[in-house]
Structure 1
Amino acid sequence: MIRILQQDNRYTKIIFAVIIGFAVVTMVITLVPGIFDNATTGDSTVFATVREPGILGRVSESTPIKAAEVNQLASRQLQQQHLPDFLLPYMSQRAGQILVQRAILKHEADRMNLQVSDEDLRRELQTGPFSQYLFPNGTYIGDDAYMNFVQNAFQTTRGDFESQVKSDMELNRLQALITGGVSVSDNAVRQAYMVDGTKVKFDYAVISSDDLRKTINPSDAELQGFFKTNATRYAAAIPETRKIEYVAFDASNLPGGKPQISDADVQAYYNAHQDQYQVKDQVKVRHILIAVPAGSDAKTDAAAKAKAADILKQIKGGGDFADLAKKNSDDPGSKDQGGELGWLDRGKTVPEFDKAAFTLPTGQTSDLIKTQFGYHILQVEDKKTAHLRPVAEVKPEIVPVLEQQRVGAAEQTFASTLASDAKKNGLDKAAAAKGLHAVTTDYVGKDGVIPGLADASGLLTQAFTVVKGADPASVSTGDGFAVFQVQDVKAAHAPDFADYKSHILEDYREQQLPGLLSAQLNKLDDRAKVLNDLKKAAAEMNVPLKSSDLVGKDGQVPDLGAMSGPGSVAFSLAKGAISGPINVGRAGVVLSVTDKQEPTAEDMAKNFNATREKLLGEQREEIFRVYIGDLTQKYEKGGAVRYSKKPAAPGASPFGN
C-alpha cells in the first residue's frame, strides 16, 4: 500500500540497467570463457584478486573481488532471468567471471591513464542518464535529496555510487579506444539491409515427429533384441525400494499429556524478550497524491499543484477526504481504500512525508506536501507513542511459542526413549508399552508416500541412508515424531521385459525417430525437386502443406519457429525455388517460396544509418570480445588472477550455451 512512498520501481530499473555496468562490456565479458585456471588463495571472503601481470604486478596493489559481491550479482541475474534457485552455483561462476574480467579491464584502463576526474563525473551526472533524477529541468535537487535518491535506488552511499559511475565511465572509455577504428563500407550496409529488409511468403510441408512416432511399431522380437542390447541402460531401471516399520505419535500421545504453560513461564519469557515487544512511534494516515512524473516541465508541475490545491480547498470546506481520494489520488495502492495507508513506522516513507505525518496532531489535515512523487495531502487519523507492550497484552502471543517449544522438546525426549526401548525389545513391544501401534509399509521408494504421516519426506530420506536392520531412529513428521527401522531392502534392478514393455517401446521409438525423420525429410525433398512441385510431393507422401504469411527475419512461423533460425534459408531463395531439408528438432520442413519482397531504394535510404550503426555495434562487440580474451590470457599467464577457491569452469551451461 505504501510502496509508492518507499521506492520508484520504474527509475530503479532504468538506473539499475546502467549501474550494473555498461551493458555491452558485461555482455561481451560473459561470452569469453576460460578464466578460471589460475592458482588459489585462502581467504574465503574473497572470491578472487586481480593485479597487473608480470614482475611489477607482484608489488602493485591488487583488486579484491568479494565473495559477497559475486553472490549478490548472481542472485540478481537469477531473478532477472526467472531461473530456478538450483542454478545459483552456475550463475555464481558467471557472476564471478564478469567481476573478475571487469577488474582486469579496470587495471588496463588505469594503465592507459583513462581515469575519470571529478569534473568528468559531474558532467556525466548532469548530462547523462542520471540527469533526469539529479538535475530535473537543469536544476540540482540538492545534497539531501541526492543522498536520499542514491539510498532508495541502490541501497548504497553517495561515495560508493559515484565510484561505480566513475568505473563505468572509465571502462566505456577503454572500449571506445579499442574499437574506435571500426568501420563498415556502404556496400556492406546495403547488403545487410537487403537481407534484413527482405520479406518472403512460402508454402511449407511439415513432417511431424509425433506423427512419425506412431508409425514405429516393432515386433516383440525386435523389442527384446533392443532390450538385450541396452541391458546396461536398464540395469537399474527399477529403483531401490525399502520396507519400513515405524511408530508415529504427536502431542496427544505424550506421557502426562500436553505440557502446560504457567504465568511464571510467560513472565520469564517476556523478561528475556522485551525487545520484541517494544512499539516504535507510529502514525496512522491517509493521503491523496497528485503525481508529477520525474523530469516534468514547470507547466506540468504547476498544473498538478493547482489540482492538489483545489482538492485541499474542498477538504477544508467540509469535503469527504476518502471520497476525494478515491476520485483523484494517483496512488494505486491506496486510492481504492480512500487513501488509507494504515500504520507507518517513523522513517519508512520519504523525508518530507515522514516529517509531516509525525508532526501533525491527530485529526489534522496537512497543507500541500511536495515530494519526488508529486503533491500530497495527508490526514493523521491516530498515533502511537513508543512504549513497551505490557505482559498481559502479549500473553496470547507468548503462550503458543512456549507451547511449541515445550511440546517439541517433550516429543524429542519421548522419541529418544521410544527408540532406546525399541533397540532392546523391538518396535512392536516398545510401541505397545506406550499405548502405540507399530506399522510396516509395503516396499516404498525414496520419493514415495507413507499414508498416515503429515510429512514422510524426512523419514524416507533418513531411511534410505541406513542399512537394513540398523538401530531404530527418530525423525520429525510435521505434526509429531516417528521412530522407524528398515526391515528389508530391494536393490535397484533390471525390470522384466513384459512388465516394462511399454517403457521399452517408447525408448525404441525415441532412438529410431531421428533417423526416420531424416530419411522421410530427404525423401520429401528429393520428390519435390523431381516434380518441381512441393504441393504434389507433399500430397503423394500424405504430408500436410501449410502457407506462411509475408514475414521478415524477425518473424515467427508455426512449426518452423523464428525466421532468424533454420528457416532463414528462405530469404536466400528465389521466388518459386524449393529449399533443402530443414530439421527443426521435433519436425522436418521443406519450403517453397511463393512471394518475395525486397526493400525499395527508399526503404534502403531510410534505414541506412540505423543499419550501419547495427553493423558497427556488432563489429565493435566482436573486436572487444577478442580483446578481452587476449587480455584475460595475458593476465592468466602472468599469474595475475588468483582465486580463494578454484571454481568449476563456467562453460558447462545446463542450457547448452
Structure 2
Amino acid sequence: MIRILQQDSRIVKSIFAIIIGLAVVTMVITLVPGIFDNTGSTSDGSVYATVREPGLLGRLGISSLPVKQADVTRLAQMQLQQQKLPPFLLPYMESRAAQSLVQHAMLKQAGDKLGLQVSDADLRRELQTGPFAAYLFPGGKFIGSDAYMNFIQTNFQLTVPEFEEEVKQDMEFNRLQALVAGGVTVPDNAVREQYKVQGTKVKFDYAVVSADDLKSQIKPTDADLQTFFKNNAKRYATAIPETRKIAYIAFDANNLPGGKPQVSDADLQAYYTAHQKDYEVKDQAKVRHILIAVPQGADAKTDAAAKAKAEDILKQIKAGGDFAKLAQANSDDPGSKGTGGELGMLSPGQTVPEFDKAAFSLQPGQTSDLIKTKFGYHILQVEERTKAHTRSLAEVKAEIAPLVEQQKIGATEQGFATSLANDALKIGMERAAAARGLHVTTTDYVAKDGVIAGVADGAALLTGAFGAAKGAAPTSVSTGDGFAVFQVQDVKVAHAPSFDEYKTHLVADYQEQKLPELLQEKLGKLDDRAKVLNDLRKAAAELNVPVKTSELVGRDGQVPDVGAMSGPASVAFTMQKTMISGPVNLGRVGVVMTLLDKQEPSAEEIAKNFELTKDQMLGEQQKEVFEVFVGNLATQYEKAKAVRYLKKPATPGPLGM
C-alpha cells in the first residue's frame, strides 16, 4: 500500500509499447544501413539521440523527439536479463535498444503528422473495454484509484500519468498500423487451403539410424589415426594447454605475529565518526488509514457521496468506534483493508503531500479530519512517532565491531603479505617463510583452471601466476581466508601432444569426423533397399535398424527421435499412403519413413477454424506491409539526416548483437 501513496516522481519513461503492445515497434529491429552515421557530441550524456521530422519543421527543431540515454540503458539491461546474456554485451544491446527507440520516435512523429493522436476520452474507453478491463474494471466496476496505482506500479513500474501516456502511444501506433495495412485482404479460398495444409495429420513408420549406434562401427587403425593427426596438425597445435609450476606461502589471521589484531574503543569511535551518517534515523510515523475512493474524473455527485460516507465513518471513530473494524468494513484500499488500515512505518516524502502533511503533524493516538487526495477521502490515525535522530555508538557497537575487526585483520594481513613478499625477493621464498614459521608449497604443473591446495580460493593466485613471468618477483594475492605470496617456478607452454599420449582423443575425434558420412551412407542404403523391396520394415530388418510407429500427428507435433514435425520431417505431409521417403538427416539421427495414414481436415473443421486462420494470415500479411512502411520511413529519415546521434552506437560484433 505504501507504493500506492507514493508521490509521482520523474521516472524516465520506459517504452511501454514494447512491454504491453502488439509488437508494433519490434517488427523491424534493424534500421536502414547508414542511418547511424550522423554522430555529434553532448556535454552531459543524458540524450543518446534526437529524432526530428524530415522537412522544414524538423530542421528548425520544432518537431523533434529525444531518445534518452537512460531509456536506452534500461531497455538494454532488460533485454540482457530476458535473454540471460553476460553483462559485457551491454554496449551491443544498447545499440539494438537505441534502434528500437529511434523507430518508436519515428512512428510517433508519423502518427502525429497524420492526426492519429489519442484523446483522454479515447483512453478511458480503452481502459474500460480493452485488454486491461478485466483487471481495472472487473464486472464493469472500477477497482479504485489506490488499487489502480498499485496495479500499474507493481506490473510496469510507472506512475499513473506515465502509464496512461504510454497506453495512448500504443493506441496511436495501432491506429497507424491499421491505416497503413488496413486495406490488406485474404481471399477465402486461400484461407481454406492454408488450414487444409495446417490441419493435415499423418501417421508413419520410421526406421531410425543413430549416429551413436554407428560410432562403434568406426574402428580406425593406427595408420588411419597417424594420417588424421598429421592432416589436423593445426587443430592440435595447442591441444595440451599451458601449465605452470608455482611456489607459494599461504597464511591467514592465525599466522599473524601476535595473532588476530584486537579492536579498541578508539577504533570503534573512529569508525562511528567516519560513518555517522549511516546511523541517522529519519522522522517516522506508524499510520493506519481508511480510504473512500473517488474515481478520476468523477462528477460532483459521486464526489459528494464519497465525502458523506467518509464523514459518517469519521463521526463513528470520534464517538469511540473501532478504527480497525471500520477500516475492514469500509476502506477501498485493498492493500491495507484486511489489516485494519495498517500501513506500517512511513518516512517524510514517502506519500502524496496531503497524506504526508497529516501523518507528520499528528501525535500518537490522534485521528485526522478528512484528507482529500487524488485518490479520494482518507481518515488517518497515527499510532507511533519516531523523531529523527542519530543512533548512538552504544546502540550500534555490536554492528560495528565485526566490520572494524575485519578491516583491521585485512589491513594487517596485507601489510604482513607485503613484508613477506619483499623479504622473499631479497633472501628467497624458503628463508622468508621459515623466518615467520611458515612453509613453501610448490605445485605440480597446474593449468589456469586448476586447483591450488591449501587455500580457500585459488582463483586470484592462478590468475596472477598466469600473468607473471617465470622467476618474476614474488607477489601477494588474497586467498579468501587470508593471503598468499607466490612465485612462478617454471612454465610449460601450450603445445601439441605426441601421437601416443593423445591417441584416445584422436580415436574419438576421428569417429566424430566420420560419423556424418557414415550416417548418410547407412541412410542411403536403407532407403535404396526399402524401395527395392517396397517394404521399409523388411529393409530395416535386413540392415538391423529399429523401426518405430508415430501417433497421428500434425505439423505442430513432436515425434520421438524425429523431433518437431515442422523441421525436415515435414516431408511426411507431402507424401501419399505407402510412399517411402528419401533419407531424412536430423543431425545425430536419421530416418526413412513410410506413410501409413494421412487425414486432411474435414469441411466442418475448416469452417470451425476459418476465422482464426484468416486472422493469422491477415496478421502476417499486415505485418509484412507494415515492415515495408517502417523500412521506407527509416529511409526517409536517413536521406534527410533526421537522426542525430549524440553518442556513437556500438557496432554489433560476431555474436550478432
- Which residues in structure 2 correspond to 1:324-339 (within 5 Å)? none
Does residue 538 (structure 1) correspond to residue 535 (structure 2)? The answer is: no
CA spacing shift, 1:38–1:31, aligned 2, 3 Å: closer
Q: Corresponding residue for 1:450?
A: 452
Q: Corresponding residue for 1:632?
A: 634
CA spacing shift, 1:42–1:468, aligned 2, 3 Å: farther
Could you tell me how far 1:359 is from its partner in structure 2?
13
Could you tell me how far 1:390 is from its partner in structure 2?
3.8
Q: Corresponding residue for 2:250?
A: 248
CA spacing shift, 1:194–1:57, aligned 2, 3 Å: same
Could you tell me how far 1:387 is from its partner in structure 2?
5.5
Could you tell me how far 1:135 is from its partner in structure 2?
4.5
If the length of structure 1 is used for normalisation, what is the TM-score? 0.79
Could you tell me how far 1:500 is from its partner in structure 2?
0.9
Deviations 1:129-154 (A, max 9, x none): 33444455555566666555444443
Could you tell me how far 1:431 is from its partner in structure 2?
2.1
Q: Corresponding residue for 1:51?
A: 52
- Which residues in structure 2 correspond to 1:153-232 (within 5 Å)? 153-232=155-234
Partner AA of 1:28 in structure 2: M
Does residue 648 (structure 1) correspond to residue 651 (structure 2)? The answer is: yes
Distance 2:427 2:66 in 1: 61
- Contact 1:203/1:547 (CA < 8 Å) preserved in 2? yes
Could you tell me how far 1:603 is from its partner in structure 2?
0.9
Partner AA of 1:645 in structure 2: K
Q: Corresponding residue for 2:525?
A: 523
Deviations 1:186-222 (A, max 9, x none): 1110111101111111111111111122211111111
Q: Corresponding residue for 1:24?
A: 23
- Contact 1:46/1:67 (CA < 8 Å) preserved in 2? yes
Secondary structure, counterpart of 1:129 in structure 2: coil
Partner AA of 1:50 in structure 2: V
Partner AA of 1:485 in structure 2: Q
- Contact 1:35/1:97 (CA < 8 Å) preserved in 2? no
Q: Corresponding residue for 1:505?
A: 507
Of the three residues 125, 128, 140, the one matched with 2:127 is 125
Could you tell me how far 1:477 is from its partner in structure 2?
0.7
- Show structure 1 runs of 5+ residues with no match: 8-14, 287-320, 322-329, 364-379
Secondary structure, counterpart of 1:75 in structure 2: helix
- Contact 2:203/2:552 (CA < 8 Å) preserved in 1? yes
Q: Corresponding residue for 2:113?
A: 111
Deviations 1:565-613 (A, max 9, x none): 2222212211222222212121111111111111111111111111111
Q: How many residues align?
A: 603
- Contact 1:282/1:343 (CA < 8 Å) preserved in 2? no
Distance 1:389 1:481 in 2: 36
CA spacing shift, 1:442–1:526, aligned 2, 3 Å: same
Could you tell me how far 1:426 is from its partner in structure 2?
2.1
Secondary structure, counterpart of 1:79 in structure 2: helix
- Contact 2:205/2:596 (CA < 8 Å) preserved in 1? yes
Distance 2:17 2:630 in 1: 21
Does residue 588 (structure 1) correspond to residue 587 (structure 2)? The answer is: no
Partner AA of 1:415 in structure 2: A
Distance 1:464 1:90 in 2: 30
Distance 1:600 1:46 in 2: 58
- Which residues in structure 2 correspond to 1:75-474 (within 5 Å)? 75-82=77-84, 88-138=90-140, 146-278=148-280, 388-474=390-476
Could you tell me how far 1:155 is from its partner in structure 2?
2.8
Secondary structure, counterpart of 2:397 in structure 1: helix
- Contact 1:24/1:621 (CA < 8 Å) preserved in 2? no
Deviations 1:395-427 (A, max 9, x none): 121111001111111111222222222222222
Deviations 1:70-96 (A, max 9, x none): 232233234334556565555444333
Deviations 1:313-369 (A, max 9, x none): xxxxxxxx9xxxxxxxx99xxx9xx99x99866699999x99999999999xxxxxx
- Show structure 2 runs of 5+ residues with no match: 7-13, 289-324, 326-333, 366-381
Could you tell me how far 1:637 is from its partner in structure 2?
4.2
**Greater Cα shift, 128-137 or 163-172:** 128-137
Distance 1:608 1:359 in 2: 66
Could you tell me how far 1:458 is from its partner in structure 2?
0.7
Secondary structure, counterpart of 1:247 in structure 2: strand
If the length of structure 2 is used for normalisation, what is the TM-score? 0.79
Partner AA of 1:468 in structure 2: K
Could you tell me how far 1:497 is from its partner in structure 2?
1.0
**Greater Cα shift, 403-412 or 90-99:** 90-99
Deviations 1:502-537 (A, max 9, x none): 112222122112222222222222222222211112
Secondary structure, counterpart of 2:607 in structure 1: helix
Could you tell me how far 1:450 is from its partner in structure 2?
0.6
Secondary structure, counterpart of 1:407 in structure 2: helix
- Contact 1:207/1:588 (CA < 8 Å) preserved in 2? yes
Secondary structure, counterpart of 2:500 in structure 1: helix
- Contact 2:3/2:153 (CA < 8 Å) preserved in 1? no
CA spacing shift, 1:35–1:120, aligned 2, 3 Å: farther
CA spacing shift, 1:575–1:119, aligned 2, 3 Å: same
Deviations 1:23-67 (A, max 9, x none): 322441237785775243334554443334577644435433233
Distance 1:33 1:552 in 2: 39
Could you tell me how far 1:385 is from its partner in structure 2?
7.4
Partner AA of 2:23 in structure 1: V
- Contact 1:576/1:593 (CA < 8 Å) preserved in 2? yes
CA RMSD of aligned residues (A): 4.5
Q: Corresponding residue for 2:372?
A: none
CA spacing shift, 1:486–1:99, aligned 2, 3 Å: same
Deviations 1:278-321 (A, max 9, x none): 456789999xxxxxxxxxxxxxxxxxxxxxxxxxxxxxxxxxx9
Q: Corresponding residue for 2:622?
A: 620
Partner AA of 2:652 in structure 1: A
CA spacing shift, 1:599–1:396, aligned 2, 3 Å: same
- Contact 2:95/2:649 (CA < 8 Å) preserved in 1? no
Distance 1:402 1:31 in 2: 53
Partner AA of 2:448 in structure 1: K
- Contact 1:419/1:472 (CA < 8 Å) preserved in 2? yes
Distance 1:82 1:258 in 2: 43
Secondary structure, counterpart of 1:495 in structure 2: coil
Secondary structure, counterpart of 1:497 in structure 2: coil
Distance 1:357 1:190 in 2: 66
Q: Percent identity?
A: 60
CA spacing shift, 1:169–1:600, aligned 2, 3 Å: same
CA spacing shift, 1:412–1:283, aligned 2, 3 Å: same
CA spacing shift, 1:123–1:640, aligned 2, 3 Å: same
Deviations 1:453-480 (A, max 9, x none): 1111011112211222222221111011
Distance 2:257 2:419 in 1: 11
Secondary structure, counterpart of 1:233 in structure 2: coil
Q: Corresponding residue for 1:602?
A: 604
Could you tell me how far 1:550 is from its partner in structure 2?
0.9
